[in-house]
Amino acid sequence: MAHTSHAGENYLNHEKGIWSWLTTVDHKRIGVMYLLCILTFFFFGGIAAMLIRAELFHPGMTIMTADQYNKTFTYHGTIMVFMVVVPLIPAAFGNFVMPMMLGAKDVAFPKLNLASWYLFMAGAAVALATLVINQVDTGWTFYTPYSIRTTTSTTYMLLGIFIMGFSGILTSLNFIATIHKLRAPGLTWGRLPLFVWATYATAIVQLLATPVIALTLFLVLLERTTGIGIFDPKLGGDPVLFQHFFWFYSHPAVYIMALPAMGIVSEMMPVYSRKQIFGYWPIALATFGIALVAFVVWGHHMFVSGQSELANFLFSFITMFVAIPTGVKVFSWVATLYGGQLHFRMGLLYAFAFIFVFTIGGLTGVFLAALAADVHLTDTYFVVAHFHYVMVGGTIMGMLAGLHHWFPKITGKMYSESWAKVSWFLVFGGFNVTFFPQFILGSQGMPRRYYDYAPKFQTLNEISSFGAWSIGLGFVIMAIYLLHAIFKGEKAPDNPWGAATLEWQTTSPPSPHNFEKDPVVTHGPYDYSEFRK
Amino acid sequence: MAHATTATAGGKKEAAHHFKDMDHEFETCKQGLWLFLLQEVLFFSPLFVGYYVFRGLYPEDWHAASHHLDPKMGAINTVILICSSLSMAQAVHGAQTNNRRKSIIGLILTLIFAGGFLVVKFFEYSHKFELGLLPAGAFTYTGADLSGYPHAKLYYSLYFAMTGLHGIHVIGGMAVIAWILKRTLKGEFDSNYYTPVEMVGLYWHFVDLVWIYLFPILYLLG
């Protein structure tokens, strides 16, 4: 059990070769493997997005047939939801950063952690194998009865998502036990960084919601293979029951996506404004408020699916409550900035982007939660715009804040800030150019998932497509300057941003066991008084 | 292998490197297992919800269809599983108190009970197969008693889904019990280190508990 590491030895170079990565139980390496794989999936999902926007550039056929279009948006949705946005922050940054924030040497169950990665990759492989077998055309929601009848290889897709679900369940179980049991001496609950609180709440939601979708999708798989009939109206089953089960997971899943991003934003605000966070406990508790409400609002996806009037009313009413804890967070972040010394580094810029787009996403969610407005807006581009503002604007902006903030810690290198700002401008600007017109399109009645549209919608669709290509260009630039940084970048100092959380109190990149000496915590996560001396 | 739990020269187990001591490791594993059982409850939940939804929609069909289950068989299996929980608890106690013999007997008895449960289930299933009382898509039963109840076949969808998923858990349980038995025979557990025995024990009690809910709603509720 050699704990002493030699000078210059870190988690990246203490063992070499691909095999040392594939058999590692080091949470940092597993986090990096998740990050690389998920960013690869993000690339493929992004290609699908570009194809969709190219097709919708003009009405009628532009580059593909209607059938190909259905498949393209199905893969865009399934890849982005199940392989990117849900696992991204918890699996990559949760794994890399969270144990270090606790002052721990690893997660509670390191081997299980590696097994989760293999499950994730196996599930992804099965799901993506459908690309070459018989491409799926159901959309990412797999609504029955179409998903039962379609001859495309939906069965394998469902199996793949089922397997990936267990990866998420085991990871969240691991994280909860880690946060409970492996905190460094002196790291009381009140001293936990807010990213840890967010990871904790996310893990609880993921642990409780994912098994439901796993079994539900497995039942659809059984519908397809054995005709079990539970969701099949022809056999007396109930397709609306499928929707209930599906959204019982998929609504909380929105918070599996959003909460970790909020956690990252909560880290950025104090660090880059050099101030204690405003409202530590309100933010931590609001995280749980959101997690709690998340479980009782799923019916707002089904206002026109044949729910009772009473259920519609209750779900609409409860949904409005999500705005309260979310508002608590947004105001606390803004109050943290007030009177601070702002350092406009990438972490803060992406956190700003998060707040801007997530607020728009949240407010348009109120439109959709209102029953009368929703009847008009259901299945229009307004919904598409809304959930992209929440998922992309929320999770991806939050992830990019985290990526730029922790990049020096992960790689030990610094990237070019000026190119990063160019990329930020293209991604953030492009995002709004892409999706804001879609709110207008939706409110004017352009339906989602349609291959064709009326000529009067053409201008706004063209603007939207230009925006999408701007996002694409922004990501290409980002890939270039980050890769350049990895190979040619300046060496990063241990704590380039002057952060007070524990992961910055070790070397960049960290040693194999994170800390040379087990840390003892004597102050809160955002106490910068040490740095002012 | 700096990460794995390693045995020191004295043969006494040492906690994995990221834990303070054996107690710390044990407590953490136990919490992990409880969290796993929590997700298991949610994993079964859609089937229970489905059962009650369709029961509410088609109460007469449910009533008629449930008459084909034999409460005697169900009761025998309930008794078998309760006995297996007792023998499992004995096995865990044996491991905790350095009584290897007690532990081995307990594990073997648990395996026998679990096997007995599956044998009874096998006879029940084959009887249903003969009659064509199968999940909706494969339902071929033509007896007069169910002729007026078009949704009786959905009852069998849920019956097979629920007992099938439970059966898979029983088989999985037998596999991990056999693994624990093998390690016990090798003498790997004592009062200092019995974490896996206790974890498998908890899991097995959960599997029993699921049946304790399945038995009344499938066999007894008319």
Give me B209's structure tokens.
């508990």
> Mean of the pLDDT values across residues B201-216?
97
Is some CB atom of chain A closer than 8 A to the CB atom of B202? no
A417-421, A522-526, B79-83, B180-184: the lowest-pLDDT one:
A522-526
Can the peptide bond before residue A493 be classed as cis, meaning omega within 30 degrees of 0? no
> What is the per-residue burial (b if ≥16 Cβ within 10 Å, else e) of A79-101?
bbbbbbbbbbbbbbbbbbbbbbb
**pLDDT higher than threshold 60 for residue A343:** yes
Torsion of CA A117, A118, A120, A121, to 10 degrees: 120
Which residues in chain A are closer than 8 Å to B150, comparing Cβ atoms?
A: 236
Q: Which residues contact B106 (CB under 8 A, 6 or more apart)?
A: B87, B88, B89, B90, B91, B92, B93, B94
**pLDDT higher than threshold 80 for residue A279:** yes
Residue of chain A nearest B14, judged by CA positions: A1
Nearest residue, CB atoms, A241 vs list B2, B36, B53: B53
CATH number for the domain running over B22-220: 1.20.120.80
- What is the distance in angstroms between the Cα of A182 and the nearest Cα belonging to chain B? 8
Which residues in chain A are closer than 8 Å to B132, comparing Cβ atoms?
A: none
What's the confidence (pLDDT) of residue B2? 37
Is some CB atom of chain A closer than 8 A to the CB atom of B131? no
Nearest residue, CB atoms, B39 vs list A104, A105, A207: A207
Is residue A154 within 8 Å of A224, Cβ to Cβ? yes
Is residue A428 within 8 Å of A400, Cβ to Cβ? no
DSSP assignment of chain B equals --SS--B-TTS-B---TTSSSHHHHHHHHHHHHHHHHHHHHHHHHHHHHHHHHHHHH-HHHHHHHHTTS-HHHHHHHHHHHHHHHHHHHHHHHHHHTT-HHHHHHHHHHHHHHHHHHHHHHHHHHHHHHHHT---GGG-----GGGTT-TTHHHHHHHHHHHHHHHHHHHHHHHHHHHHHHHHHHTT--BTTB-HHHHHHHHHHHHHHHHHHHHHIIIII--
Is some CB atom of chain A closer than 8 A to the CB atom of B164? no
Distance of CA A208 to the CA centre of its chain: 18
Q: Are the Cβ atoms of B42 and A208 closer than 8 angstroms? A: yes
What's the confidence (pLDDT) of residue A8? 75
Note the pLDDT tens digit of each residue in A12-45. Answer: 999 999 999 999 999 999 999 999 999 999 999 9
Give me A144's structure tokens.
């029955």
> Mean of the pLDDT values across residues B173-202?
96
- Round the average pLDDT of chain A to a whole number and report it: 94
Residue of chain B nearest A244, judged by CA positions: B46
Q: Which residue has the higher pLDDT, A173 or B14?
A: A173
Q: Are the Cβ atoms of B135 and A211 closer than 8 angstroms? A: no
Is some CB atom of chain A closer than 8 A to the CB atom of B39? yes
What's the confidence (pLDDT) of residue B5? 45
C-alpha angle B5-B8-B14 in degrees, rounded to nearest 5: 40
Is some CB atom of chain A closer than 8 A to the CB atom of B35? yes
* Closest residue by Cα to residue A221 from A166, A295, A168, A161: A161
Q: Are the Cβ atoms of A210 and B49 closer than 8 angstroms? A: no
- Backbone dihedral angles phi then psi of residue A413, each to the nearest 5 degrees: -130, 155
**pLDDT higher than threshold 90 for residue A530:** no
Nearest residue, CB atoms, B32 vs list A104, A173, A211: A173
Q: How confident is the model at residue A5 (pLDDT cuts 50, 70, 90)?
A: very low
What's the confidence (pLDDT) of residue A237? 93
CATH number for the domain running over A30-532: 1.20.210.10
Rounded to whole angstroms, what are the CA distances from A525 to A96, A105, A350, A404, A429? 18, 18, 21, 19, 32
Most A CBs within 10 Å: which of B6, B17, B42, as the mutation test of the A interface?
B42
Secondary structure element (H or E) that encloses residue A70, with its range = helix A66-78
C-alpha angle A289-A293-A294 in degrees, rounded to nearest 5: 110
Note the pLDDT tens digit of each residue in A126-156. Answer: 999 999 999 999 999 999 999 999 999 999 9
Q: How many residue pairs bridge chain A and chain B with CB atoms within 8 Å of each other?
A: 127
Assembly ipTM: 0.93
Instruction: Please state the domain extents for chain A.
Output: 30-532
* Closest residue by Cα to residue A478 from A431, A429, A518, A422: A422
Is residue A140 within 8 Å of A78, Cβ to Cβ? yes
What's the confidence (pLDDT) of residue B11? 57
What's the confidence (pLDDT) of residue B17? 87
What's the confidence (pLDDT) of residue A6? 58
Q: Are the Cβ atoms of A229 and B50 closer than 8 angstroms? A: no
> Mean of the pLDDT values across residues A352-372?
95
Alpha-carbon distance of B194 to B46, in angstroms, equals: 34
**Which residue reads 């849920």 in tokens?**
B158
- What is the distance in angstroms between the Cα of B183 and the nearest Cα belonging to chain A? 19
Note the pLDDT tens digit of each residue in B110-144. Answer: 999 999 999 999 999 999 999 999 998 889 998 88
Alpha-carbon distance of A381 to A11, in angstroms, equals: 46
**pLDDT higher than threshold 90 for residue A2:** no
Give me A152's structure tokens.
């495309």
Q: Are the Cβ atoms of A230 and B44 closer than 8 angstroms? A: no
- What is the distance in angstroms between the Cα of B61 and the nearest Cα belonging to chain A? 11
